[in-house]
Amino acid sequence: MQQLSLPRPDDWHLHLRDNELLATTVPASASVFGRAVIMPNLVPPVTDAQQAMAYRERIMAEVPAGADFQPLMALYLTQQTSRVQVEEAAADENIIGFKLYPSGATTNSAAGVTDIEALDHVFAAMAELKVPLLVHGEVTTADIDIFDREKVFIDTKLRPLMERHPQLKLILEHITTSDAVAFVESMGANVAATITPQHLLMNRNDLLVGGVRPHNYCLPILKRREHQLALQKAAVSGSPKFFLGTDSAPHAQSKKEAACGCAGCYSAPAALELYAEFFERMDALDKLADFASHFGADFYGYPRATETVTLRREPWQVAATIDTAVGPMVPYWANETLNWQVEK
């Protein structure tokens, strides 16, 4: 196969950051994806509809001419989130739901949730009004090993949450373990998950063997190969519960290659090509359209795309760095060859 056309895909988990960096990050995604769920972990965080619409305007100002791109705004869940804010979100077609960051779990998560159980009234309102909850699924207590944080969160927080609110629409984002796959598969149709390219293509050996590789460092952290294999199996299974979410997270090279390097892989410049690389390795290119273009839209209740994008089988090398307003940035898969590229 030398060419593959599929409905324009959607990115159901994307970090664009803000202000001057939008000139780089928005075109990189808008040139390929039709819709994207925009993460709210700015400083300060995007916690209400008014802030979200202002942020959305800044994003739309950087969308290239002719690109049909729809940012879907997630609101940052805090201990102060109220039913009124849930009602406002439910009434705004540009807001997709609330993002649950356990406090301290990842970049700019200090304002995140510290007591999930205390927010039961908010989750009840979300279930009633059909407002999705997007979850970064990790505990953050110091006594839990970083490689076990997802499993412990599922066992101690998510399963009890879904027992209390069985109708809640929940997306476990950027899953990294066989435990997460099993959890999603055990739940009803109102629970799904996104999977990133880095967690499909790599495991923790790619982070640690031969020296620490900061540009492969992300949170949740890469896990053992056995977990990678479980994610790979889920992605190509044809199950509508698993779909594309890059978690593309831009950081300046100086912030990644530092004594305390930032977590995140900036995959947007080659996102669809990276997924194509994985699906071809799995001899499953026929499953890419469902994973990238259909299942996420179906789960969130959006129409499937009718416009198409075309991938051409022609090897190319991902750039070593990308110039941005905050300095050079090293993209995920830098200097490596990919076999597919999007026709622009």
Q: Which amino acid does the sequence have at 204?
A: R
Q: What is the pLDDT of residues 173-228, one digit of tens each?
A: 999 999 999 999 999 999 999 999 999 999 999 999 999 999 999 999 999 999 99
CA separation, residue 83 to residues 121, 123, 274, 300, 338 (Å) = 8, 9, 40, 21, 46
Nearest by Cα to 155 from 174, 134, 120, 180: 180
pLDDT at 339 over 80: yes
User: Cis bond leading into 328, ω under 30°?
Assistant: no
pLDDT at res. 344? 80
- State the catalytic residue, choosing from 115, 247, 283, 286: 247
pLDDT number for residue 107: 74
77-117: per-residue pLDDT in tens?
999 999 999 999 999 999 999 999 998 777 767 778 999 99
Asked if residue 136 belongs to a known ligand binding site, the reply is yes
Task: Indicate if 247 belongs to the active site.
Answer: yes
Tell me if 99 is assigned to a ligand binding site.
yes
pLDDT at 108: 67
- Other CB atoms within a 10 A radius of the CB of residue 279 amount to 23
Residue 104 is predicted with a pLDDT of 76
Q: Average pLDDT of 222-244?
A: 98
Q: Is the dihedral of CA 49, 60, 135, 104 positive or negative?
A: negative
Asked if residue 227 belongs to a known ligand binding site, the reply is no
Task: Write the CATH number of the domain with boundaries 9-306.
Answer: 3.20.20.140
State yes or no: 219 annotated in a binding site: yes
Q: Residue 57 pLDDT > 70, yes or no?
A: yes
At 289, the amino acid letter reads: A
Which tokens is 308 given?
Answer: 């198409």
Query: How far is it, in rounded angstroms, from Cα 52 to Cα 343?
Result: 32
Kindly state the percentage of the chain with pLDDT values over 70.
99
263 is in an annotated binding site: yes
